[in-house]
Amino acid sequence: MAGREKTSGPVKWALLAGGIAAGAALIPLIPVIKKRSMRVTTILKKDHRVVSGLILTLQMTPGMNTSFRKTLLEQIRSSVMRHTQAEEEILYPAIRNIIFLGGQPNVDQAYREHQQVKDLLNDLRTMDPNSDAFDAKFAEFKAKIEDHVDEEENQMFPMLMERMSAEHQEELGEEIHHWKSRFKARMAA
């Protein structure tokens, strides 16, 4: 302790001032950081991670905890429905506008995959979360989601980032953010 007390006051103030200066230097970057967080791909990737976490939580929840598994399934369903509808109404039409013949089948495939995911979720809703049949159907749902996310993040999003300006990506992100907020409010009402 005595060694620490010998540190001179000017050294402490110099260190503190250096930390403050470093923080102050980052202040102009805050709008850039915030803008990046509103990019459409950033928002949608965040949705993917949230759903992935919910899926993992449901898988780790013992089957005998039926009510909690049902609650998790509803959270997954709500997140997926909000996400897929935002993509279908905002993102996919925008992608169709920036791609030519080569990308059209990818968008059509994404719509089909969304429908398959929605069908699986509707099937799961009617099943006993304690059953082996539920676990098998949930594994099918998880595999479909993982494939879809992989295609979006590794094919569609890079193409979108290459062909769409950062400003347009941010505009789409803001549009999706506002759309999801309105959707959530409608569902809560």
What is the arithmetic mean of pLDDT over 58-77? 92
Answer yes or no: is pLDDT of 126 > 70.
Answer: yes
**Do 156 and 95 form a contact (C-beta atoms < 8 A)?**
yes
- What's the pLDDT score for residue 30? 47
**Per-residue pLDDT tens digits for 14-51:** 454 555 555 555 555 544 444 456 899 999 999 999 99
- Backbone conformation region of residue 131, classed left if phi is above 0, alpha if psi is from -120 to 50, else beta: beta
Is 13 a residue whose pLDDT tops 80?
A: no
Q: How confident is the model at residue 54 (pLDDT cuts 50, 70, 90)?
A: very high
* pLDDT number for residue 33: 43
Please report the domains of the chain, with CATH numbers, ordered by start residue: 14-188 (1.20.120)
The whole-angstrom separation of Cα 32 and Cα 72 is 35
Asked whether 87 and 44 are in contact (CB, 8 A), the reply is: yes
Report which of residues 49 and 98 the model is more confident about. Answer: 49
* Angle between helix 40-60 and helix 166-188 axes, rounded to 10 deg: 50
